[in-house]
Structure 1
Amino acid sequence: MLPEETIEVARDSSERGELVLRRRPDGTLELRANGVFVMDTVETSTERALAARALQLHDRPTTVLVGGLGLGYTLAAVLEDDRVERVTVVEIEPALVGWMRDGTVPGGALLADRRVTATVGDVASVLRDGPGSAHDLVLLDVDNGPGYLVHDANADLYEAPALEDARRATRPGGTVVVWSAAEAPELERTMARVFGRRRTEAVAYDVDLQGRAETYWLYVGHV
């Protein structure tokens, strides 16, 4: 039973299950998938760090693909960089795109930005079927990492075939960055096989989650 002050803002169902958006008493929005916490609007530094760190690694990141819209914080950070000319954001849940467009989730201006193309679909399929060498940066933030999956099907995104597709979709000199909520040595080893050991790095990022210290990780492959 939810506390009286917690309000369910929106709910949607798909073949992946149930997506629920809630507002806490302090006004924070919280997103849950099949009852599992996904993200909220309190701690957004990791989503922004994913973009900021990746953008720092490229002299001219004109074209960026973001895997996962979520609540829009990674996309917002990408758009703050004046060097970025085009962004494709791929979100598998049509409800998230719809909620942002109609104002249920703040951020409609992000999707209205002339540089942004929002695609509803599986980012793994988009990377596999799309043109090669199309992006300077590919940022993958579709789950909590290989060890904390919201949807079991997302496990494939952390395997070599999908990472190979991400590498092929990235221009020479570009970067693929994968976010994880915990250290993922197997992901690092897989990326080292795909990108080369010397072209792969694991970047630890310390965050304060409402007084609780946590470490998140960015896994980087240089093309």
Structure 2
Amino acid sequence: MEPDPPLTLAREATPHGEVVLRRRGAVLELVVDGAFAMDTVDTTTEVRLAEAALTRHQEPERVLVGGLGLGFTARAVLADPRVRRVDVVELAEPLVRWAREGLVPELAGLEGERCRLVADDVAHVLTGAGSPPGPWDVVLLDVDNGPGFLLHPGNAALYERSGLAALRRSLAPGGVGVVWSSHPAPDLLAGLRSVAAPGDEVEETALVVHREGRELTYSLSVLHRAPGTAG
């Protein structure tokens, strides 16, 4: 028997491509510009992205999440009582609007006293050209699949030296920045090392996930800014 076709819940064109939310049985899927972006089959990597940074910081009071996705990274951050403010920056304005409208339970109820949703390009926010202003104790970037498999070619600069330097500058002293990638990314790791200052720490963590009979290796590239450093 053929599986039932997915049910489209919302669809809207944006300057950066079409954004679609759909259900496939109990699974919620996000499709961006015709390409599968993520679903709710396994959300462990979104949670581990948050945990990787939060466990490396003693007082992660202010956090920036680049990429709303289906909301699981933001919820993992909000679950930490030490976090007082979360800024979630999402390029696709319809996704922010659907979250505010409570279109699906997975996205509903995120925005509140501790969490603000912003429709903007996180690259602009990191450079100070967009709102909200930094610095942040923790910055989490999950805006694309990583430098080797981009959904939006315009995101390439975020993974290059200029974008990674902006990431470091957006961190408060002692801050932690983590970049998610759908694959091991040695060039990304090298880029972080090239913008690191003396005393900073840079490392990569592999995330092995078993999904629908396949073993996938994602990665988290981490820059821990040294305490007491300026500039």
Q: TM-score range by the shorter chain?
A: over 0.9
Report if aligned partners of 1:133, 1:170 keep a CA contact under 8 Å in 2. yes
Query: Equivalent residue for 1:8?
Result: 8
Q: Post-superposition, which runs of at least 4 consecutive aligned residues in structure 1 deviate over 3 A?
A: 2-5, 130-133
Q: Matches of 1:44 and 1:15 in 2, distance apart?
A: 28
Give the gaps of 5 or more residues in structure 2.
Answer: 226-231
Query: Equivalent residue for 1:86?
Result: 85
Equivalent AA in structure 1 for residue 10 of structure 2: A
Measured against aligned partners, the alpha-carbon deviations of 1:69-93 in whole angstroms (never above 9, x if no partner) come to: 0110000000000100011110011
Q: 1:133 to 1:69 in 2, by over 3 A?
A: closer
TM-score (norm 1): 0.93
Query: Equivalent residue for 2:136?
Result: 135
Query: Equivalent residue for 1:174?
Result: 175
Query: Equivalent residue for 1:161?
Result: 162
Deviation at 1:210, TM superposition (A): 2.8
Equivalent AA in structure 2 for residue 192 of structure 1: R
Structure richer in helix, relative to its length: 1
Identity %: 48
Query: Equivalent residue for 1:108?
Result: 108
Report if aligned partners of 2:128, 2:134 keep a CA contact under 8 Å in 1. no
Q: Matches of 2:133 and 2:194 in 1, distance apart?
A: 19
What is the RMSD of the two structures over their aligned residues, measured on CA atoms?
A: 1.8
Q: Secondary structure, in 3 states, of the residue corresponding to 2:208?
A: strand
TM-score (norm 2): 0.90
Query: Equivalent residue for 2:148?
Result: 147
The reply on whether 1:213 has 2:215 as its aligned counterpart is yes
Equivalent AA in structure 2 for residue 156 of structure 1: A
Query: Equivalent residue for 1:120?
Result: 119
Q: Matches of 1:140 and 1:166 in 2, distance apart?
A: 9
Report if aligned partners of 2:136, 2:170 keep a CA contact under 8 Å in 1. yes
Q: Secondary structure, in 3 states, of the residue corresponding to 2:63?
A: strand
Q: Secondary structure, in 3 states, of the residue corresponding to 2:192?
A: helix
Report if aligned partners of 1:133, 1:168 keep a CA contact under 8 Å in 2. no
Q: Secondary structure, in 3 states, of the residue corresponding to 1:50?
A: helix
Measured against aligned partners, the alpha-carbon deviations of 1:168-188 in whole angstroms (never above 9, x if no partner) come to: 111111111000000111111
Q: Matches of 2:167 and 2:179 in 1, distance apart?
A: 10
Q: Matches of 2:134 and 2:5 in 1, distance apart?
A: 49
Measured against aligned partners, the alpha-carbon deviations of 1:106-142 in whole angstroms (never above 9, x if no partner) come to: 232111x311111110001011016886210000000
Equivalent AA in structure 1 for residue 18 of structure 2: E
